[in-house]
Amino acid sequence: MRARTPKRPKLAVWKFASCDGCQLSLLDCEDELLAIAGKVEIANFLEASRAVVKGPYDLSLVEGSITTPHDAQRITQVRKASKFLVTIGACATAGGIQALRNFGHVREFLSVVYAKPEYIETLATSTAIAEHVKVDFELRGCPINKQQLVEVLSAFLKGRKPNVSSASVCIECKRRGTVCVMVAQGIPCLGPVTHAGCGAICPAYHRGCYGCFGPKEAANTASLSRQLTVLGVSEEQRQRLYRTFNANAEPFRTESAHA
């Protein structure tokens, strides 16, 4: 058993329906990982460790969305055991890619994938953690940006608010000096309505933003939709653009219903 140092806050990492990518971001902090491990006690992080320390936990990082009755129960237990709860990634903050079921019929989805669908226990929807319990901070992205994760952890350790921009991807494009792919090349781009955080990589790689950080605050999706129509994007294509990794986030969900 490891010795516990009472001064180090206890960090727990939890997984719900997801691809594991956001918690992997923590292990991908190759330059910072050992420093982080020195500042906190990793008390529950199943992907990385067998050691499990009982709660309560000072900080819980929650990855994944709620898709089963059991998980809907489990998240309330995680909340009870956590002083601060931070959701990481598009699944936890918006229901993720698996929220595409919300626009169809889960029974029909089941029968396509499974030979004996009657054995599957699943909810008809995939929902964000904040729809079930109080969340203290949401970190966006599919996947999250690991520098932003380090910022959230540093802010927690210092007892301050995380300094995470709530601007749009457009602002990051300008900062990076990337010529607008939509204006210059007519490439459909969700940059104007998408939350910053990725560093505007897609336009820098000559493609339009596909919205993996979800909608920014007060996203003017109606205006973007008009522009997409001008560019010749069909209604069907437009719907698919909004319905990817953050399909159930309110502005994207509403706008996709108009298509």
Q: What residues line the site for other proteins (CB under 8 A)? A: 2, 15-22, 24-25, 27-28, 30-31, 33-34, 37, 42, 45-52, 67-68, 70-71, 96-98, 100-101, 104, 106, 108-110, 112-116, 119-122, 142-143, 198, 201-202, 204-207, 210, 212, 237, 240, 244-245
CB of 72 to other proteins, least distance (A): 11
CB of 161 to other proteins, least distance (A): 26
Among residues 126 and 168, whose Cβ is nearest to other proteins?
126
CB of 108 to other proteins, least distance (A): 7
CB of 116 to other proteins, least distance (A): 6
Q: Which residues contact 95 (CB under 8 A, 6 or more apart)?
A: 65, 102, 125, 126, 127, 128, 246, 247, 248, 249
Among residues 85 and 212, whose Cβ is nearest to other proteins?
212
Among residues 40 and 220, whose Cβ is nearest to other proteins?
40
146, 89 in Cβ contact below 8 A?
no
CB of 57 to other proteins, least distance (A): 16
Residue closest to 129 by CA, chosen among 87, 178, 98, 170? 87
Among residues 32 and 220, whose Cβ is nearest to other proteins?
32
Backbone angles phi, psi at 127, to 5 degrees: -125, 160
Six-digit token string for 179: 């010529």
Backbone angles phi, psi at 62, to 5 degrees: -115, 120
The CA distance from 111 to 202, in Å, is 35
